[in-house]
Amino acid sequence: MPELKKAKEPFRFYTRLHLSGLTGLRASTLNQLLTLAKEVPGSSIYHHTHRFLQQHQYLSPEPPNDFAYWVTEVLGEDELGEKLASIDTIQFNTIRALRERIVETIESYLKDNPLAKMKFSHEGDEFYFIKSVSFVLPTNYVVYDLNEFVDVLAKITIDSIYFHIFESRLRLEKANNDFSNWIESSFGDKELADSINKLDPYTYTIEDLRKTMIKIIKRRIARYDGKG
């Protein structure tokens, strides 16, 4: 096992803070939802499929995207709600592809269940399209090896973890998360990079994700040190 070495390039932690932008667009029926889901900016699709990750840091009975929630709770279309909730977001590398899957799911359901078009929400319960405006800032944390990395990972904000794991991969269209990219390119440790990359971050709270990554990296460091 090679000994713990300095990275070729240091890793700077960034953070991402966001504002919710309002679009003035709202849907009362599935047809309207479908039409608007095709037209709204990608930052709106991103918002409605990722909002819950940051707003509900404790375990809560929220379904994983706003489309699923609205279709189930407001229109009472449980089956479509389940289909939308189980879209496997981690499989998609672009918002474009994720949007297409959402659109296809609704279209296919409407084809099989034409009566669902008749349902509409009450006033005030419409689906309001919101978009996410992200502000990416460098933090003061720069690390040169895995020990330093894991120390910062333990104390950095969840917004920073969120940026490097979710936003960077899907919204900035990188194939992998930033942590895995750095570990592979700077240390050549593909095994460790892959073990982080294969976590499905959508099924963890961000705090649990932090703990899991720390555990994996610490185990690796112990192996480098010959203690593992």
Partner 1 sequence: MAKVEEYIPIVGQSIIDDLRLLADKLKGKVIQQINSTSVGGGVAEILTNMVPLLRELGVDTRWDLIKGGERFFQVTKKFHNALHGRSEEILQSDFDVFMETSNENIKEVNIYGDIVFVHDPQPIALVEKKAANKWIWRCHIDVSNPNQKVWGFLKNFIAKYDAAVFSAPSFSQKLPVHQFLISPSIDPLSDKNKEIPQETIDAVLKKYRIFQDKPIITQISRFDRLKDPLGVIEAYKRVRKYNVCQLVLAGGTATDDPEGAKVLEEVNNAASGDPDIHILLLPQNDIEVNALQRASTVIVQKSIREGFGLTVTEALWKAKPVVASNVGGIPLQIKHKYSGLLCHSIEGASFALKQLLNSPEYAVKLGLNGKEHIRNNFLITRHLREYMLLFLSAYHTEDIVYL
C-alpha span between 19 and 53 (Å, rounded): 15
Q: Residue 68 to residues 30, 74, 81, 93, 203: CA-CA distances in angstroms? A: 12, 10, 4, 21, 16
| Contact flag: residue 131 with partner 1 (CB under 8 A) | yes
By the rule CB under 8 A, 59 interacts with partner 1: no
Contact 103, 37 (CB under 8 A): yes
CB-nearer residue toward partner 1: 20 or 86: 20
CA distance 210 to 217: 11
Which one, 85 or 130, has the nearer CB to partner 1? 130
Candidate ranges 37-45, 145-153, 194-202, 213-221; the one touching partner 1 (CB under 8 A): 37-45
* Stretch 66-125 residues interacting with partner 1 (CB under 8 A): 123-124
Say whether residue 157 binds partner 1 (CB under 8 A). yes
From 1, 2, 3, 55, residue interacting with partner 1 (rule: CB under 8 A): 55
In the 8-state DSSP scheme, what is residue 21?
A: E
Question: How far apart, in Å, are the Cα atoms of 176 and each of 149, 165, 182, 188?
Answer: 18, 8, 10, 15
Q: Which part of the chain contacts partner 1 (CB under 8 A), choosing from 3-11, 20-28, 97-105, 143-151?
A: 20-28
Chain positions contacting partner 1, by CB under 8 A: 15, 17-26, 41-43, 55, 57-58, 60-61, 123-124, 126, 128, 130-137, 139, 155-157, 159, 171-172
